[in-house]
Amino acid sequence: MAIDRAEVLHVARLARLALSEEEIEPMARELSAVLDHVARIAELDLEGVAPSTHVIEVTGALRPDEPVPSFPREVILEHAPEVDGEGFLVPSPQA
Amino acid sequence: MSADDLLALTAAQAAEASARGELARDELFELYRERAFADRAAGAAGLNCFTWVAEDVPAGAGGAERAPLGGVPLAVKDLFCTRGVPSQSGSRILEGYLPPYTAHAVERLADAGAPLLAKTNQDEFAMGSSTENSAFGPSLNPWDRERVPGGSSGGSAAAVAAGLAPWALGTDTGGSIRQPAALCGVVGLKPTYGAVSRYGMIAFASSLDQAGPLTRDVRDCALLLAHMVGRDPCDATSLEPREEIALPSAEDLEGIRFGVPEELAAEGIEDGVLASFRASLERARELGAEVHDVHLPHAPHALSAYYVLAPAEASSNLARFDGVRYGLRVDGRDLLDMYTRTRHDGFGREVKRRIMLGTYALSSGYYDAYYGRAQRVRTKIADDFREAFELVDFIVTPTAPSVAFRLGEKTADPLAMYLNDYCTVPMSLAGIPAISIPCGLSEGLPVGFQIAGPAFSENRLFEVAHALEGSFEFDGAQARV
């Protein structure tokens, strides 16, 4: 499965990841090598096999929907790169 | 007790000495704190096991000597959130992050009398098998400093092996406790998925991540696990234990049936490792165990399935690192530009590779071919184990295909690095518990023996591991610094 430059840039955009010019070619090569390996699962006959998201059965994970106090706002804002005292500050989506 | 006498004690022995009042208050903590601090201060001349070392005995640990874990201090992998203590999962993107809360497992252990000694180095976001992918630089193997300690919990494994911490916590997604335990000559357990709460662990692949102990011996491993397990309302996948974890005492293996899966114990395993594994099977027979051939027909496909599932989950989990709420921000001309630059500068090479891989596998047009198929392979692997456990009590394999390799040897080839997980990933996908214990040396370096059992068989796993450990007579003291 060869991944080309255009595909790398498309996936990087989906992943919200900037790549420098010199990172693109090695990424294409390394992803292709790994995908070649994982593509071996295409050989297996998996007709009628159910997919697993979780292998240990969990029951009764529900709990009453009761509000409980969370962290105070100032404790959470303390760790952010930029805040205005009320919330997180970010650059405009359209500069 | 002299410092040498103290250092020779296992954690369980130290806890017992503490309960008998034979240790002065904070004596053990101070001894290990100084040793850990010296490693950190030594920089490149040390093992680089730690990302942070406590300045003092943590507040509130005053009565720890009277608690069940006796005040025996604990080293904790960087990715466990610890209140007010740097926790950045080995990544630049969480530089300066001081969590406002402590991970459930760490809190439980501190309450039981194992105060926080240090945070340990790891591969960034637990992605790696060598602890070379860390923003803090690589950790070194105390058996040979030109070699890696394994990973991703390499700092924890190296610290325990070198006697810089009495015991440690790691996490295992595809082998990240068991493989470094093998390469450093210590004991490491990946518990049944759900046995320990994941609350406060900086997530890699949530359906696989499990916390577990890295210790000098099997009794220490059981003692630490006993105080970690349990249902936690903050992790909906955590489970009520079916029985209390007890300290093991078995010295023989009468009536125990071991299964050796040809798929994981022949091809691709280094000769020296295989020789040590086979000699270990001989010890098992001498102790009374039956050894049978079994088959796990889908195990050779486990690695492929894992390298779809784990990156897919990671690409979703790591979406939260966007420069808005915590950690690094790199300014950009607009919001999207800020996100993409922050993630470019904050993530290391392997993490970017896995985010890309996972995003690709989940993207429109490829989902069924990769993610959907990998989930079906996972079902088949769990079925394989279920069938094997109808014939035998435990599955045994070498833990890792090789002994500790040289620094830099596999960093340029992601696939070669991924193959380190060949023998450990199947158990991760099946959610079952597996322990690695040191069984001997090859080329002067430790070899790990992996024992896997059905879900919730931890107590029986500890018993057989304890009996084997007694017969292997592995001497870990030579790695202590």
Nearest to A44 among B207, B237, B301 (CB): B301
How sure is the predictor about A1, in pLDDT bands with cuts at 50, 70 and 90?
Answer: low
Nearest CA-CA distance, residue B244 and chain A, Å: 19
pLDDT at A63: 81
User: Which residues of chain A have a CB within 8 Å of the CB of B353?
Assistant: 27, 30-31, 34
Is B162:B480 a contact under the CB 8 Å cutoff?
Answer: yes
For residue B119, indicate whether it is catalytic.
no
- Give the structural domain span for B48: 3-255+394-479
Name every residue whose Cβ is closer than 8 Å to that of residue B167 and which is 6 or more positions away in sequence: B11, B72, B74, B75, B114, B160, B213, B214, B215, B216, B220, B224
User: Which residues of chain B have a CB within 8 Å of the CB of A27?
Assistant: 352-353, 356
pLDDT at B230: 95
Tell me which of B18, B89, B134, B152 is the catalytic residue: B152
Residue pLDDT, tens place only, B60-96: 776 777 899 999 999 999 999 999 999 999 999 999 9
Among chain B residues, CA nearest to A89: B324
Nearest to B344 among A17, A34, A41 (CB): A17
The total of structural domains in chain B comes to: 2
B474 touches chain A (CB under 8 A): no
Residue pLDDT, tens place only, B87-140: 999 999 999 999 999 999 999 999 999 999 999 999 999 999 999 999 999 999
Specify whether B131 is located in the same domain as B192. Answer: yes
Mean pLDDT of chain B: 96
The secondary structure element, H or E, covering residue B221 is helix B218-226
Give the C-alpha separation, A26 to A32, whole Å.
Answer: 10
Nearest CA-CA distance, residue A61 and chain B, Å: 6
Give the C-alpha separation, B242 to B455, whole Å.
Answer: 10
Specify whether B31 is located in the same domain as B161. Answer: yes
Residue pLDDT, tens place only, B302-328: 999 999 999 999 999 999 999 999 999
206-235 of B, contacting A, C-beta below 8 A: 207, 233
CB contact under 8 A, B326 and A88: no
Specify whether B321 is located in the same domain as B455. Answer: no
Which of B374, B404, B424 lies at the terminal end of a domain, its last residue? Answer: B374
Compute the average pLDDT of residues B151-162: 98
Specify whether B49 is located in the same domain as B101. Answer: yes
Specify whether B125 is located in the same domain as B199. Answer: yes
Is B343:A18 a contact under the CB 8 Å cutoff?
Answer: yes
Structural domain includes residue B45 = yes
Specify whether B328 is located in the same domain as B425. Answer: no
Specify whether B42 is located in the same domain as B185. Answer: yes
Structural domain includes residue B446 = yes
How sure is the predictor about B282, in pLDDT bands with cuts at 50, 70 and 90?
Answer: very high
User: Side by side, which strands form the sheet with B434-442?
Assistant: B50-53, B116-120, B74-77, B167-172, B210-215, B187-190, B434-442, B445-452, B394-398, B257-261, B290-294
CB contact under 8 A, B429 and A34: no
Best B93, B318, B376 member to test A by mutation, with max A CBs in 10 Å, is: B376
CATH class belonging to A5-43: mainly alpha
Specify whether B146 is located in the same domain as B54. Answer: yes
Tell me which of B18, B89, B156, B176 is the catalytic residue: B176
Residue pLDDT, tens place only, A11-59: 999 999 999 999 999 999 999 999 999 988 988 999 999 998 887 877 7
Specify whether B444 is located in the same domain as B368. Answer: no
For residue B77, indicate whether it is catalytic.
yes
Nearest CA-CA distance, residue B144 and chain A, Å: 30
Give the C-alpha separation, B94 to B92, whole Å.
Answer: 5
Specify whether B432 is located in the same domain as B368. Answer: no
Cis bond upstream, residue B249 (ω within 30)? no
pLDDT of B152 above 90: yes
In terms of Cα–Cα distance, which of B94, B106, B182 is closest to B135?
Answer: B94
Task: Provide the 8-state DSSP code for B82.
Answer: B
Nearest to A56 among B192, B304, B357 (CB): B192
CATH code of the domain covering residue B20: 3.90.1300.10
In terms of pTM, does the model score above 0.90?
A: yes
Structural domain includes residue B280 = no
Specify whether B81 is located in the same domain as B226. Answer: yes
B334 touches chain A (CB under 8 A): yes
Tokens 């497992």, located at residue = B105
Structural domain includes residue B379 = no
pLDDT more than 90, % of chain B: 93
Predicted-assembly ipTM surpassing the 0.90 threshold = yes
Residue pLDDT, tens place only, B4-60: 999 999 999 999 999 999 988 889 999 999 999 999 999 889 999 999 999 988 877
Name every residue whose Cβ is closer than 8 Å to that of residue B43 and which is 6 or more positions away in sequence: none
Structural domain includes residue B400 = yes
Residue pLDDT, tens place only, B157-200: 999 999 999 999 999 999 999 999 999 999 999 999 999 999 99
CA distance to B319, B366, B368, B375, B418, per residue, from B308 (Å): 17, 11, 11, 9, 12
Is B327:B94 a contact under the CB 8 Å cutoff?
Answer: yes
In terms of Cα–Cα distance, which of B243, B75, B83, B248 is closest to B157?
Answer: B75
Structural domain includes residue B273 = no
Cβ-based burial of B144 (10 A; exposed 0-12, middle 13-18, buried ≥19):
middle
